[in-house]
Structure 1
Amino acid sequence: MTNEITFPLISGNISMDLVNTEVVRHGTRHDLLTNADHVRAWFDTLIMEKIIFKEQFSADIEHWGNDSLSILRELRQVLREGFEMLADGKELSSDWIKHLELLIENAPFTYQLKNDQLIPTPMGKPENALISLIALDALTLISSGQLNNIHRCANPDCVLLFIDTHGRRKWCSMKICGNRSKVTRHQRQKAQNK
């Protein structure tokens, strides 16, 4: 079943990619993280895409994937609330930021050099390490100002969020919603011309 799961990694940022593990398909909202197998598949996808690295974790996910499901889903909800506030032009509360800072305290960082890239390596239980990396990513997006460019997809049925630094993008992804819009518009025009 995990082979069928496709995660929309449209940002390259682990915090945004976690939020985007909820999708809408055929008008129904789907949670892509409903069991430990899904967590492992998401984790493996992040490693394959080089968003995270195995060296950042003290144990193989087979040993801690079950323990991370509930805390990942809780963090996803917190992040979604904050990111959607920003997408709607509202300000984040200091409590939201403090919450992320506290998550990092559960697995503070050391650093290692991998392929000429300095990568943060959380110290602590692997599930806390994953949460710490996600919280660090969200705080980095805030401090860099990138979240000033966060948007909701123009498709009103889509729940995916994205960062647009060019100011022209309106779809979460051309593959996901952009093409659907083009197909729908084409079908309408075709029907009108009959």
Structure 2
Amino acid sequence: MASGGTRIQRLRFDTGATWLDLVATVGDAYGETPVERLRDTARLREWLDAEGLLPEHGPDDDDLVRARELRESLRGLALATLRGNPWPPGDVARVNEHLRADEPLELRDGQSGPRTRPPATTRAALARVARQAAQHLTGPEGGMLGACPARDCGMLFLDPTGRRVWCAAEICGVRHRVREHRRRRRAAG
């Protein structure tokens, strides 16, 4: 697979929030051919582990469906927030379903340092993701949402500094600079 395909397949953890990392589990989500990064339960397990949310018993096929549904509902809420539109009622209802599975956090002091107790189930892990999204979308972070301006990217991210333009400077930022350089050369020559 070409490096571009590998880039699209790899999981992203650079959005500034776990819930937005979940939204980013579709590559080229706003392009002509979106790529599903959560293609199976093993990939969901990998994502949960990287986010520190891996439960004792790994995800099953139903959990994969729930994760994808939550992702798309969070995308709908984030895009509506970013555009200043009302939230889609169906997305609100689906996120609220996940929030009902939330469980209290419990602090632990382990060998790797202080942390919270891992969620008991994948459903509880997804509820934590939904909780973070709800807190961000209703708090000051809602005003910090940004989207990559690359027409084939549009990845959502948190921009607390107000200066972030690209999903990642080394990805879309570089592609933009190369396109601009080529455009200027064509115009000059």
Measured against the shorter chain, the TM-score band is 0.7 to 0.9
Matching residue of 1:184: 179
Q: Contact 2:74 / 2:95 at 8 angstroms: preserved in 1?
A: no
**Correspondence 1:162 to 2:157:** yes
Find the counterpart in structure 2 of residue 34 from structure 1. 39
Alpha-carbon separation, structure 2, partners of 1:161 and 1:185: 23
TM-score (norm. length: structure 1): 0.78
Flag structure 1 segments of 5+ consecutive residues without an equivalent: none
Retained in 1: the 8 A contact 2:102–2:124? yes
From 96, 100, 103, the counterpart of 1:105: 100
Is contact 1:109–1:120 with CA below 8 Å preserved after alignment?
Answer: no
2:20 is matched with which residue? 16
Match of 1:153 among 139, 145, 148: 148
User: Which residue matches 1:52?
Assistant: 52
Q: Distance in 1 between matches of 2:97 and 2:62?
A: 19
Does structure 1 conserve the Cα–Cα contact (< 8 Å) formed by 2:148 and 2:155? yes
- The AA in structure 1 aligned to 2:127 is S
In structure 2, stretches of 5+ residues that fail to align are none
State the AA in 2 paired with 1:39: L
Say which SS state the counterpart of residue 52 (structure 1) adopts: coil
**Partners of 2:44 and 2:53 in 1: how far apart?**
15
- Partner secondary structure for residue 28 of structure 2: strand
CA contact (8 A) 1:40 1:65 kept: no
Q: How large is the Cα RMSD of the aligned pairs? A: 2.7
Query: What is the CA deviation profile of residues 14-35 of structure 1, one whole-angstrom value per residue up to 9, with x for unaligned ones?
Result: 2101101112198532111122
1:24–1:160 Cα change, 3 Å:
same
The CA deviation string for residues 46-90 of structure 1, in whole angstroms up to 9 with x for no partner, is 2xxxx3254xx2x242xx343311001111111010001011122
Identity across the alignment (%): 23
When the two structures are superposed, what TM-score results if normalisation uses the length of structure 2?
A: 0.80
Contact 1:107–1:122 under 8 Å retained in 2: no
Give the conservation status (yes or no) of the 8 Å contact 1:20–1:160: yes
Instruction: Give 1:94 shift.
Output: 7.4
Match of 2:114?
116
SS in 1 for 2:13: coil
Shift of 1:91: 3.8
Partner of 2:66 in structure 1? 71
Which stretch of structure 1 is more off in the superposition, 34-43 or 82-91?
34-43
How many residues are aligned here? Answer: 179
